[in-house]
């Protein structure tokens, strides 16, 4: 479920207190006007939660991908391999650097087809960009093996699966750099916002400087007299986002517990009737959605969708927002020839329905839904 569902007094009071304590300040500086540095605290708490060394808050998940790719040395003309079940943001970030997105179809479990991935690696490939879609981990061990073999870096897009784990490690912390989104639809939200995580100091240093106009933040200089080694940009998170992010992060574990209750209640009633998306071995998902796959019969698909609409569950991305999540439709970004090579992905996604786990819906309503679905 998205974090916006559980925004309550805590977030509201924190915003009021922020205005009492200094107001809409930058994430840095103006020590004389403020008592706290909320964005810096959010980053510290994030690193502790994700068990990683460095976290950097930025304006969005899309910005986080772009900054992360630049930190990994991606330059104009390089190739970045990602998957065709995705969100357009990764492609936009790659294109914004002048690099080339290379798309890989998905397999029956809606994860990157690793045989196709190996075939797409060329001398120009710099980074593998797996995307953990809708709460579900990619096959990270195998992706890491491939990256090591071909000496490639990994940027994990974990915008949709915060809190999911692979071999007990939080997703986003297994590759060289990981990125998160806190936009309105995400598991925890700051309205808009993103986070970059890494265990390597050199990547953090680059991201930190680049996201803040190149500021080196050298202690011996005041901010106004600080130095830069390269031109950056402004991708800084605001204190208002930081203050909300700290509270939402504390709610993450409970969101996943609540998601799981609803997911299990539904799954137990329909797993014999429908094909459900499964998770890779040794992984734990955040139970954001339950995906029914391989629905080849159009009438059955219509019946499921009707039931979900009538009972106010709706769907998440599949099939309603398929155009934004499937490279087959991205002629405007990658051209008609490349987009149409993602036909296999389109077919798999067209036969899938993602049912969202919503807090406003009690667990019992998922049991009722399960009973109705099992009678279709």
Ligand X SMILES: Cc1ncc(COP(=O)(O)O)c(C=O)c1O
With H, G, I as helix, E, B as strand and everything else as coil, classify residue 314.
coil
CB of 318 to ligand X, least distance (A): 13
129 in Cβ contact with 157 (< 8 Å): yes
Residue from 160, 258, 284, 288 touching ligand X (CB under 6 A): that is 160
Task: Quote the CA–CA distance of 125 and 194 in Å, as a whole number.
Answer: 26
- Each residue 125-144 as x (binds ligand X by CB under 6 A) or -, in order, gives ------x-------------
What whole-number distance in Å separates Cα of residue 137 and Cα of residue 299?
31
Tell whether residue 161 is a contact of ligand X (CB under 6 A): no
What is the x/- site pattern for ligand X, positions 88-117, by CB under 6 A?
-xx---------------------------
- Which residue's structure tokens are 């990270």? 140
**Which residues in 326-355 contact ligand X (CB under 6 A)?**
none
Q: State yes or no: residue 159 binds ligand X (CB under 6 A).
A: yes
Of 105, 79, 36, residue with least CA distance to 326: 105
Binding mask 192-211 for ligand X (x = CB under 6 A): --x-----------------
Minimum distance from CB of 21 to ligand X (Å)? 27
CB of 129 to ligand X, least distance (A): 10
Instruction: Please say which residue, 189 or 351, places its beta carbon nearer to ligand X.
Output: 189
| Residue 148 C-beta: closest distance to ligand X, Å | 24
Helices 38-50 and 239-270: crossing angle, nearest 10°? 30
Query: Which of 66, 269 has the CB closer to ligand X?
Result: 66
Strands 275-276 and 194-198: unpaired
Region from 46-54, 99-107, 155-163, 205-213 binding ligand X, contact rule CB under 6 A: 155-163
Find the binder of ligand X among 2, 27, 57, 60 (CB under 6 A): 60
CB 65 to ligand X: min, Å? 6
**Bridge partners, residue 57, by sequence:** 195
Closest distance to ligand X from the beta carbon of 253 (Å): 21
CB of 184 to ligand X, least distance (A): 8
Please provide the size of the chain in residues. 376
Task: Kindly tell me which of 66 and 346 has the beta carbon lying closer to ligand X.
Answer: 66
**Range 44-50 contact pairs with CB under 8 angstroms and sequence separation of 24 or more:** 45/246, 45/249, 46/195, 46/197, 46/245, 46/249, 47/197, 49/170, 49/249, 49/252, 50/170, 50/172, 50/173, 50/197
Residue 61 touches ligand X, criterion: CB under 6 A:
yes
Closer to ligand X by Cβ: residue 64 or 304: 64
| Closer residue to ligand X (CB): 68 or 370 | 68
Among the residue ranges 86-94, 162-170, 251-259, 367-375, the one whose residues contact ligand X (CB under 6 A): 86-94
Q: In sequence order, which residues have a C-beta less than 8 Å from that of residue 182 and are 6 or more positions away? A: 3, 61, 188, 189, 190, 191, 192, 193, 194, 195, 241, 245, 248
Going by C-alpha positions, the residue among 166, 193, 164, 165 that lies closest to residue 180 is: 193
Count residues contacting ligand X (CB under 6 A)? 13
Q: Binder to ligand X among 79, 156, 183, 239 (CB under 6 A)?
A: 183
Q: Which is nearer to ligand X, 194 or 232 (CB)?
A: 194
Start-to-end CA span in the chain (Å): 25
Q: Does 62 bind ligand X (CB under 6 A)?
A: yes
Q: Is 87 in the site for ligand X (CB under 6 A)?
A: yes
Q: What is the largest CA-CA distance in the chain?
A: 70
If binding is defined by CB under 6 A, does position 181 make contact with ligand X?
yes
- Pairing mode, if any, of strands 289-293 and 54-58? unpaired
> Contact positions toward ligand X, by CB under 6 A?
60-62, 87, 89-90, 131, 157, 159-160, 181, 183, 194
């Amino acid at each position: 479920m998205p974090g916006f569902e559980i925004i309550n007094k805590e977030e509201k009071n924190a915003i009021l207190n922020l205005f009492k304590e200094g107001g809409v300040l930058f994430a840095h500086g103006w020590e004389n006007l403020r008592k706290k540095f909320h964005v810096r605290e959010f980053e510290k708490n994030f690193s502790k939660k994700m068990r990683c060394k460095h976290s950097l808050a930025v304006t969005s998940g899309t910005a986080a991908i772009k900054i992360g790719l630049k930190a990994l040395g991606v330059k104009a003309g390089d190739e970045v391999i990602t998957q065709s079940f995705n969100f357009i943001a990764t492609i936009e970030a790659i294109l914004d650097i002048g690099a080339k997105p290379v798309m890989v179809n998905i397999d029956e479990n809606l994860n990157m087809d690793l045989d196709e991935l190996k075939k797409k690696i060329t001398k120009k490939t710099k980074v593998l960009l797996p995307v953990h879609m809708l709460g579900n981990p990619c096959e990270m061990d195998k992706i890491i093996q491939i990256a090591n073999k071909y000496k490639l870096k990994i940027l994990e897009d974990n915008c949709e699966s915060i809190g999911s784990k692979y071999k007990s490690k939080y997703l986003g912390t297994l590759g060289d750099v990981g990125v998160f989104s806190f936009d309105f639809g995400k598991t925890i939200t700051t309205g808009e916002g993103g986070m970059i995580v890494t265990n390597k100091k050199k990547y953090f240093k680059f991201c930190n400087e680049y996201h803040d106009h190149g500021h080196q933040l050298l202690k011996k200089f005041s901010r106004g007299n600080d130095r830069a080694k390269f031109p950056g940009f402004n991708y800084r998170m605001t204190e208002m986002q930081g203050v909300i992010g700290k509270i939402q992060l504390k709610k993450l574990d409970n969101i996943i517990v609540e998601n799981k209750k609803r997911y299990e209640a539904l799954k137990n009633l329909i797993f014999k009737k429908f094909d459900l998306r499964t998770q890779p071995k040794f992984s734990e998902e955040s139970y954001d959605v339950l995906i029914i796959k391989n629905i080849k019969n159009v009438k059955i698909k219509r019946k499921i969708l009707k039931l979900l609409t009538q009972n106010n569950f709706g769907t998440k991305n599949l099939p309603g927002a398929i155009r934004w999540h499937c490279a087959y439709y991205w002629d405007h970004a990658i051209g008609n020839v490349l987009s149409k090579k993602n036909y296999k992905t389109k077919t798999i996604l067209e036969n899938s329905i993602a049912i969202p786990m919503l807090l406003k819906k009690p667990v019992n309503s998922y049991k009722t839904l399960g009973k109705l679905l099992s009678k279709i």
